[in-house]
Structure 1
Amino acid sequence: MAVANPSTQPLGRTLSLQAVRVLLLLVFAFPIVFMFVSSFKPDAQIFADLTSWRAFAPVGDISLDNYRGVFDRVPAGRMLMNSVGISTITVVLGIFINSLAAFALSRMQWRGQRVVLTGIIATLIVPFETFALPLVWWVNKLPWLEVQGFSLVLTDGWLDTYQVQVLPFVANAFSIFLFYQYFSSIPKELDEAARVDGASWFGIYRRIIMPLSGPAVATVAILTFLPAWNSYLWPLMVVQSEEYRPVMVGIQYFFQLNVAWGQVMAYASMITVPVLALFLAFQRAFIGSIASAGVKG
C-alpha cells in the first residue's frame, strides 16, 4: 500500500495560490505599467508600440519631455499642493470627528443610540449625485470668517474656497460604522477600570481606545484620502478659480485643444503615485482592519 507524501498537497496548493496571485498582479499591474512607461514616450511611439510587448517596456525614444510639457500646459504644482492639503486636512478631521461619533455610539449608553446609528447607516444608500445640487445651494449661503487687513470679516458663501472642498466631506457614515465595529470589539472592562481611576470619557477615547485602534485608523485614512484625492465632480461645481482647483480637474486641460497622450500619461502617473504610496504604507493595517471587522462584526 503506497503512502501519500503529506507535504505534496500543501506544496501544490501553495504553488497554485501563488500562480493565481501572480496572474492577478499582472492583470491589475498592466494598465499602471503601460501608463507609466508611456509617460516617457512621444505620441507617435505610443501608438506604434500598442501591438507589441514594447508598449510595456521603456524602450525607444525615452525622455522627460512629457513631464516638462505637463507643467507648461497645466498649473500642476499648484494643483498637486491643493490636493495634498485638501486630502490631508479631510483625513485628519475625518478620523477625529468620525471616531468621536463612533466612540459615543459604541462605548457610551444614551437614549436613542440605536436610532441614530440606524440613521447614519441608512445614509450610505443615498448617492452623492442626489444631494449635490442642494448641497451647492447650502454652501453658497453659509457664512465664513475671513481676514481682511487687520480685522475679521464675516462673508457669505463658501464657493470658490478651500473649505467647500473639505468640510462637507469630513463626516462619513462608512467611517463611523467602521470605527463603531472596531471599537465594539474592544472589551468594555477597560472603560470601567479607567472610570474607576477617574478618567473622563474623552480621556478613555484618547488614551485607551484610539491607541488600540491603529488598523481602523489606517483603513479610514485610506478610504477618506481616496475620494478626497479623486474628487472631480464636486470641484467642477463649486470651484472656478485655478488657484483652488485640485489635480483631478486638471485632466480636462489636456482635452481642450490637441490631445497629447504622452502628457496625459505623465499627468496620470503624477497623480497616481501618492495613492499607491499611501496604500503601500498602510496595506498591512488596512487588510488587518477589514479582516477583523469581518470576523468580529
Structure 2
Amino acid sequence: MTAGRQKNRLLIALDYLPLIAIAAIFVLPLLFMVFSSLKPDGQLLRDATSLRAFLPVGDLSFDNYAAAFSRAPIATFVFNSVIVTATTVFLALIFSSLAGFAFVFLNWRGRDVVFSVILATLIIPFETIAVPLLLEVNNLPWIGADGLQWGWLNSWRVQIIPWIADGLTIFLFVQYFKDLPEDLIEAARIDGASWVQIYARVVMPLSGPVIATAAILKFLVMYSQQYLWPLLVTQSETYRPVMVGLQYFFQLQTPWGEVMAYLTLISVPVLVFYLLLQRFFIASIASTGIKG
C-alpha cells in the first residue's frame, strides 16, 4: 500500500513539473523586475549574470523608487492610465454587449452586413487610420465646464471615446449570446418582459464569463499597449498614460534600477485588476473547456 501511494505521488509530481516550468517562465521575470528595483545599478548589473538576479539579496533599499518619483510624475501617469482604462473598459462592456444583444436577439434589415463590416475592421491596422482619426478628433466640438470647445486633443476623452467599441469585444459577446438557451428568452417574452428587461435581467446576469474575458482583454490593450495614440493626442504630462511616461526614463538615460522601479509601480494596477476579476476569469476558462 505504501509503495503504491509513493508511486501515485511520484506520478502526480511528474504531472506538475511541466506546469511548474511554465509558471516559472512567467514568474521569474516578475521576480527579476521587483528585486532589481531594490538594488543599486552596479549590483543589479552584476547579479544579472547569475541566479542572484531572482533573489532579494545584497544592498536592498527603496532609493530607486524615490529617485523615480523625483525624475518624472509617475503618480500622474498611473492615475491617467487607471482613469482612461477603467472608463473605457466600463463603457466598452456596456456598448459592446448592447451591440451583441442586437445582433443575436433582434431581427432587423442589414444585420448580417453590418456585423460583417464590424468583423472586417479587425484586419485593419490602427496605423492606417491614426492620422485621419487625429484630424477628425482635432475638429470635433465638446461641451464642458468652460462651454463649447473645438478639438479633443490633450484630454481624457480623446483617449477614451475612440476605443469604446471594437470588433473583437462585440464578436465575443455575439458568440457567447448565441450559446444562451433560447427558451429563457422566449419565456421572458411570454411573461411580458421588454427587450431592455431581457437584456438587463436575463442575458447579462448569465454573461459573467464573457464579461470577464472581454474586460481583461480590453484592460490589457488600454493599459499596457496604448502608446502611439496617446503620444499623438496629448502634449502635456497632465493627460499622458504610463506607456508614454516610460519614454521619459529612456530619453534621460535613467539608471536601470529606476526603470525597474517604474515598471514595478505600473504593474500594480494590473495585479489588482486581475485579482478583482479572478473568479470570473476562472469561470470563463471552465465554461470554455466544457463547451469544447
Which one of the candidate residues 167, 175, 194 is aligned to 1:173? 167
Query: Does 2:57 match 1:59?
Result: yes
Match of 1:166, SS state, is helix
Match of 1:244, SS state, is coil
Amino acid at match of 1:251: L
Amino acid at match of 1:223: L
Q: How many aligned residue pairs are there?
A: 289
Which one of the candidate residues 217, 232, 235 is aligned to 2:230? 235
Inter-partner Cα distance in structure 1 for 2:237 and 2:259: 19
Match of 1:182, SS state, is helix
Q: CA deviation at 1:280?
A: 3.6
Q: CA deviation at 1:292?
A: 3.7
Cα separation, partners in 2 of 1:79 and 1:183, compared to 1, 3 Å:
same
Normalising by structure 2, what TM-score?
0.92
Amino acid at match of 1:217: I
Q: CA deviation at 1:105?
A: 0.6
Cα separation, partners in 2 of 1:143 and 1:293, compared to 1, 3 Å:
farther
Contact 1:160/1:239 (8 A) holds in 2? yes
Query: Does 2:66 match 1:72?
Result: no
Q: CA deviation at 1:6?
A: 10
Q: CA deviation at 1:294?
A: 7.3
Which one of the candidate residues 79, 87, 90 is aligned to 1:89? 87
Q: CA deviation at 1:15?
A: 3.2
Inter-partner Cα distance in structure 1 for 2:6 and 2:56: 41
Pairing 1:130-279 to 2, within 5 Å after superposition: 130-148=128-146, 153-230=147-224, 231-279=226-274
Q: CA deviation at 1:284?
A: 4.3
Normalising by structure 1, what TM-score?
0.91
Match of 1:243, SS state, is coil
Q: CA deviation at 1:62?
A: 0.4
Contact 1:185/1:296 (8 A) holds in 2? no
Q: Tell me, which stretches of 5 or more residues in structure 2 are unaligned?
A: none
Contact 2:209/2:287 (8 A) holds in 1? no
Amino acid at match of 1:84: V
Inter-partner Cα distance in structure 2 for 1:123 and 1:291: 30
Q: CA deviation at 1:93?
A: 0.3
List structure 1 segments (4+ residues) > 6 angstroms apart after TM superposition: 5-12
Q: CA deviation at 1:114?
A: 1.6
Q: Tell me, which stretches of 5 or more residues in structure 1 are unaligned?
A: none
Contact 1:86/1:166 (8 A) holds in 2? yes
Inter-partner Cα distance in structure 2 for 1:294 and 1:174: 20
Contact 1:215/1:289 (8 A) holds in 2? yes
Contact 1:178/1:293 (8 A) holds in 2? no
Q: CA deviation at 1:293?
A: 5.0
Match of 2:238, SS state, is helix
1:183-221 deviation line (CA, Å, top 9, x unaligned): 111112212211222211011000110011111111111
Between 1:287-296 and 1:220-229, the stretch displaced more is 287-296
Which one of the candidate residues 109, 117, 120 is aligned to 1:119? 117
Inter-partner Cα distance in structure 1 for 2:284 and 2:5: 32
